[in-house]
Amino acid sequence: MTTLAPDVAPGDGRPSVALVRRARKMNRLMAETYPEAECELDFTDPYQLLIATVLSAQSTDKRVNQVTPILFARYPDAVAMAGADRAVVEEIVHPTGFFRAKTDSVIRLSQEIVERFGGEVPRRLKDLVTLPGVGRKTANVVLGNAFGVPGITVDTHFKRLVTRFGWTTQTDPDRIEAEVAALFPRKEWTQLSHNIIWFGRRRCHARNPACGVCPLARLCPAFGEGPTDPAKAEKLIREPRG
C-alpha cells in the first residue's frame, strides 16, 4: 500500500491545501479516464428523472431503464401518476425491488407535486426533500442533471471511493457531502459525482479494485487493496451500463 504524506487540516475546519490538490488531481484523472461520465438513468424531463432516481434505490440503472419506458408510457407526468392504479404501478416497477414501498413513494410524491407545486417538480433542495421517498441524494441528482444546479450525490459508490481516497473519514452521508464539497468549486459538484460513480462501477470495486491499472494509484492511500499486477487487474475492469 502506498504511503502518502498526511493531509493536515489548518485547524479551522477547512481542508488542507495538500488534500485539496490531491483530490482535484484525482478528479482530473478520473475525468480523463472516463470523459463520457454522465447520469446513467434515462429521462426526458425533471419528473422522469425524479421517478427513475427513486426507483433506482437498491437496484441498478440498467434495470430501471428497462422499466421506466413502460411506466411513463402509462403515466407520463405527475398528474397521471397521482391518480394511478396502485396494482398496475406495482406490477410495472416490480423488477426494481421493494416495489410496494417504491409504488407508494412515486404515487404519493406525484400527488404532492400536483397539490403543492402545480404539477411541476420543484427546483429547490428544501422543497424536493419534503416529497415522500426523496432525500438529499435523490434531490441532488435531480437538481444537478435536470436543472443544472450543482449538487453532490452520495450513493454507495461515492461513499466507498471518497473514504478509500482519504478525502473524508465521515460515515454520515450529509457530513460526507459537506466535507467533499469543501474540496471542489461548486460548479464541479455534479460532474464530480458522475466521475466518482463511473469509476466505482467500472474499476474501484468494493471487492478487488483494479489497483494494478488504476490511473490514481500513486495518489491513492488504498492502493494495494486489489491486485497490483496489471494483467490481473485488467481483467477486473467492467464497462457495463448500470
Indicate which residues carry an active-site annotation.
Answer: 137, 155
Q: Which three cell numbers, joined as nine digits, stand for 85?
A: 392504479
3-state secondary structure of 61: helix
Give the whole-angstrom CA distance, residue 78 versus residue 153: 24
Give the whole-angstrom CA distance, residue 174 versus residue 196: 17
Percentages helix, strand, coil for the chain (3-state, rounded to 5) are 55, 0, 45
Give the whole-angstrom CA distance, residue 91 versus residue 78: 19
Radius of gyration in angstroms for the set of CA atoms belonging to the chain, rounded to a whole number: 19
Nearest Cα to Cα of residue 51 among 144, 148, 132, 126: 132
**Residue given cell 429521462 in the structure block:** 43
